[in-house]
């Protein structure tokens, strides 16, 4: 089939890439523009999500229970599941440059509407619905940026380019979150201040649309369309096609197992951290609990993501993609158990760094597998399936954890469960990898 005929033979040792350094990567004009568009988009995402979460969870004018916090997490993760099949089919059918421009502008409009609702005290379902739409469009944009990357850098540089763009993009997202914390201290913690903070995220969407619009028509693919004649048929078949192609590509299927385990464990850890920060943690030196403490945790996670971007390509070069993923999941399981169990603010900060680091290492390896081993005519569908599966997994994990988590968030059982999920991910990754090698 055409989807896999263009991919490298599975018997070739992994990795097969050339490191040229960030400076030479940035010399590619297309990569630089795509990177800055990603930065603008993810900065706005981080600001919007943190501003909205702070408005709902840490707003003194609103009361919220742990179950409502968990429900909010689940709703914010639903777009990854709902948008996936549509994004994949459309990104492999429509001009990705045009999609990125239109999606960013549409997102900006819904961010503005969300900000008005927050400022006027709207609560409950309307806010969650608007958040669902905004995050859903963000996932569409993210899938488009990932599918377009092989059009702006040589294939041999994909691992390094992906590490740079995805990692720095995630760090910029954390910076957006930190900006939201700072803006709330300026505008105020009530409804009006939260609304103004959320509104600033519009800037990221508008700038991302402008940068994407600077590409020539068709420059970001797809190179050719192998979709059905109608859009409805394309959307209906996108999910099935993405799953079939991913299962037929051993490096991608094994990576999916690893990342699904991480996302489930990470979802549990995220819920625990927010509720502990809200109801249990005491101040630790200059670090205060509540919103400031959450900002420091986000910063620690962002630092872990940044360090992963600096080191992943080197780890893959030294050990290969399979061993790198194996050791990253193992380190995450030890971190989850050793630093999670004390349930203290200082150990949580260290755990945030290490779990974000190892999770990003796994993600970068899986991203590179999809970008390298999946043909361009199907890459959008596989990336869309990627988003859908991982975030369904995270949403289910959060929902189950919410059903058993105590009101103060102190749950030894959930920390052990997250550790077991990492070990299950290692097992599944190894089993799929071992079956793939004889087949290759």
* Cα torsion through 190, 61, 179, 335, rounded to 10: 170
71-112 pLDDT tens trace:
777 766 665 566 655 666 667 778 889 989 999 999 999 999
pLDDT of residue 59: 60
pLDDT of residue 45: 93
pLDDT of residue 5: 34
pLDDT of residue 101: 94
pLDDT of residue 10: 34
- Supply 368's token pair: 């590179």
pLDDT of residue 233: 63
Phi, psi at 284, each rounded to 5°: -130, 100
pLDDT tens-place values along the chain, 440 residues long: 333 333 333 333 344 555 677 788 888 889 999 999 999 999 999 999 888 877 776 665 555 666 677 777 776 666 556 665 566 666 777 888 998 999 999 999 999 999 999 899 887 778 878 887 888 788 788 888 888 888 898 877 877 888 788 778 888 998 998 899 889 888 887 888 889 999 999 999 999 999 999 999 888 988 766 555 555 566 666 667 778 888 888 888 899 999 999 999 999 998 899 888 877 887 777 777 776 787 788 889 889 988 998 898 889 889 988 899 999 999 999 999 999 888 888 999 999 999 999 999 999 999 888 888 888 777 777 877 787 788 788 888 988 898 888 888 889 999 999 999 999 999 999 988 876 554 44
Q: What is the rounded distance in angstroms from the CA atom of residue 187 to the CA atom of residue 195?
A: 9
- Supply 189's token pair: 């913690």
pLDDT of residue 392: 83
- Supply 53's token pair: 């979460």
Q: Are 315 and 324 spatial neighbours (Cβ–Cβ below 8 Å)?
A: yes
Residue 62 neighbours by CB distance under 10 Å: 16
Q: What is the rounded distance in angstroms from the CA atom of residue 240 to the CA atom of residue 313?
A: 32
- Residue among 175, 38, 204 at smallest CA distance from 105: 204
Kindly report the three-state secondary structure assignment for every residue of 60-117: CCCCCCHHHHHHHHHHHHHHHHHHHHHHHHHHCCCCHHHHHHHHHHHHHHHHHHHHHH
pLDDT of residue 61: 56
CA distances to 2, 149, 275, 364 from 155, rounded to whole Å, are 18, 9, 43, 15
Q: Are 194 and 117 spatial neighbours (Cβ–Cβ below 8 Å)?
A: no
Residue 36 neighbours by CB distance under 10 Å: 17
pLDDT of residue 88: 60
pLDDT of residue 263: 92
In the chain the domains, ranked by start, together with CATH numbers, are 20-239+248-439 (1.20.1250.20)
């Amino acid at each position: 089939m055409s989807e896999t005929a263009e991919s490298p033979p599975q018997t070739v040792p992994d990795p097969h890439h050339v490191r040229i350094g960030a400076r030479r990567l940035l010399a590619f004009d297309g990569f630089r523009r795509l990177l800055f568009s990603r930065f603008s988009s993810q900065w706005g995402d981080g600001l919007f999500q943190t501003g909205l979460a702070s408005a709902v969870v840490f707003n003194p004018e609103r009361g919220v229970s742990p179950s409502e916090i968990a429900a909010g997490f689940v709703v914010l993760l639903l777009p990854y599941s709902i948008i996936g099949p549509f994004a994949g089919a459309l990104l492999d059918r429509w001009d990705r440059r045009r999609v990125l421009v239109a999606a960013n502008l549409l997102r900006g409009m819904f961010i503005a509407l969300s900000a008005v609702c927050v400022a006027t005290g709207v609560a409950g379902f309307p806010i969650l619905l608007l958040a669902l739409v905004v995050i859903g469009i963000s996932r569409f944009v993210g899938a488009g940026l990932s599918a377009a990357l092989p059009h702006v850098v040589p294939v041999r540089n994909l691992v390094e380019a992906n590490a740079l763009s995805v990692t720095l993009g995630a760090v910029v997202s954390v910076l957006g979150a930190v900006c939201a914390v700072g803006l709330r201290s300026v505008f105020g913690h009530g409804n009006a201040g939260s609304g103004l903070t959320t509104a600033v995220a519009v800037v990221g969407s508008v700038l991302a649309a402008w940068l994407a619009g600077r590409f020539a028509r068709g420059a970001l693919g797809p190179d050719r369309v192998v979709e059905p004649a109608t859009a409805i048929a394309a959307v209906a078949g996108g999910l099935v096609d993405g799953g079939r192609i991913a299962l037929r590509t051993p490096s991608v299927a094994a990576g999916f197992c690893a990342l699904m385990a991480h996302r489930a464990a990470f979802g549990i850890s995220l819920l625990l951290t927010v509720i502990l920060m809200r109801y249990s943690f005491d101040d630790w030196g200059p670090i205060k609990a509540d919103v400031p403490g959450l900002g420091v945790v986000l910063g620690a996670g962002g630092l872990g993501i940044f360090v992963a971007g600096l080191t992943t390509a080197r780890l893959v070069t030294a050990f290969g993609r399979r061993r790198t993923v194996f050791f990253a999941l193992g380190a995450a399981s030890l971190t989850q158990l050793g630093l999670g169990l004390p349930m203290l603010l200082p150990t949580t900060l260290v755990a945030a760094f290490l779990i974000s680091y190892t999770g990003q290492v796994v993600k970068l390896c899986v991203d590179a597998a999809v970008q390298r081993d999946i043909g361009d005519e199907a890459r959008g569908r596989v990336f869309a399936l990627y988003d859908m599966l991982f975030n369904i997994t995270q949403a289910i994990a959060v929902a189950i954890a919410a059903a058993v988590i105590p009101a103060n968030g102190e749950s030894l059982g959930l920390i052990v469960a997250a550790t077991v999920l990492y070990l299950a991910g290692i097992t599944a990754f190894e089993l799929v990898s071992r079956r793939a090698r004889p087949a290759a």
